Amino acid sequence: MHTLNTSTLAALEEMLQNTARSAPPDFMPIHFSGGTNPGQIMGYLNPDFIPFLQESLDKQPIAHLQIGHERLTIGAAKPLALSISLAKLADRMQQGGFIPGWRHEEFAWVDQDGHAYFQLERSAFRAFGFRSMATHINGYTKAGNIWLGRRSENKPTDPGQLDNLAAGGIAADETPWVCARRELWEEAGVPAQISDQIEPVGRIHMRRPIPNRGFHDEQLYVYDLALLDSFVPTNHDGEVSGFIEIPISEAAARILADEFTSDAAFVTADFILRKYRT
């Protein structure tokens, strides 16, 4: 095991204590009138988006959506109806220049009881501060090293930053397990007979404002995967420019040097602390 000094361990621990930040006070809450917890806050709007939405909904109302001076309210309705209404609003936001990087993929908004209440274009989730879900997989070797991917420079989010062996958003109608195995193949070329061995190790809740974008609220489902020392990852989907295999001590230094995406930094720090303490 590579040695980590006390100050490095303390810095990683302190970082993990600040994964979930509150929304800034000037962000507008989005309330949901339906579900098992009526009136719950399900998202937040950047104040820069509010005048556009107020004017848009005043001129052309959308069913089940109401905006005032203090909140945007999503009314109780069946999931299909809510999906249609929110898709209309997201489309207006995209045309107004408030949602870059349209993905043509859908996420589902799922409550704490596991019920999905609507599906929506994934790039709109940050604009509305809706909670999304993702999987992150730590790939490590018996020699004590960890594999990291470097995101493509063409990625709209965090280009060129270090990421986990594989990571990705959980699509609507997809489970964390299925997503993890899919991402392992697409991003790192890990075949099914190896990805079957992933070990679920926990969740990390990420919440933070994104300058000029919105509010990032995501539940990260974390897995570990032991790899043979001879295994070399290969990207298949063009989203990773390359991979590096490094000791955890170097990974810790790179985390503190801000070379990672925010999500991968937390996931990797958690991995390092778990492995270091065993």
Both tokens of 254, joined, read: 């790179």
Mean pLDDT of 218-230: 96
- Closest CA relative to residue 151, chosen from 235, 233, 241, 232: 241
Mean pLDDT of 151-172: 91
Mean pLDDT of 152-157: 82
pLDDT at 143: 87
pLDDT band at residue 159 under the 50/70/90 scheme: confident
* C-alpha radius of gyration, the chain, whole number: 20
CATH fold of 28-128:
Transcription Regulator spoIIAA (3.30.750)
Which DSSP letter does residue 76 get? Answer: P
Residues of the chain above pLDDT 70, percent: 99
Question: Is a pLDDT exceeding 80 seen at residue 3?
Answer: no
Sign of CA dihedral 252, 256, 261, 266: positive
Output the CA angle 219-221-224, nearest 5 degrees.
150
Residue type, 128: F
pLDDT band at residue 71 under the 50/70/90 scheme: very high
- Closest CA relative to residue 209, chosen from 266, 264, 129: 129
Mean pLDDT of 210-223: 93
Pure H helices in 189-218: 192-195
Question: Going by C-beta distance under 8 Å and a sequence separation of 6 or more, which residues neighbour residue 166?
Answer: 135, 136, 137, 139, 149, 180, 183, 184, 186, 187, 188, 190
pLDDT band at residue 31 under the 50/70/90 scheme: very high
Mean pLDDT of 130-159: 92
3-state helix, strand, coil in the chain (%, to 5): 30, 30, 40
Q: Where are the chain's structural domains?
A: 6-21+132-277, 28-128
Place of tokens 């470097």: 150
pLDDT tens digits for 8-17?
999 999 999 9
Question: Is a pLDDT exceeding 60 seen at residue 1?
Answer: no
pLDDT at 278: 56
Q: Is 35 helix (H, G, I), strand (E, B) or coil?
A: coil
pLDDT at 2: 62
Place of tokens 């309330």: 31
- Closest CA relative to residue 169, chosen from 120, 113, 219: 219
pLDDT tens digits for 262-276?
999 999 999 999 987
Average pLDDT, the chain: 94
* b (16+ CB within 10 A) / e for 237-246: eebbeebebb
pLDDT tens digits for 177-186?
999 999 999 9
Q: Please give the CATH superfamily to which domain 6-21+132-277 belongs.
A: Nucleoside Triphosphate Pyrophosphohydrolase (3.90.79.10)
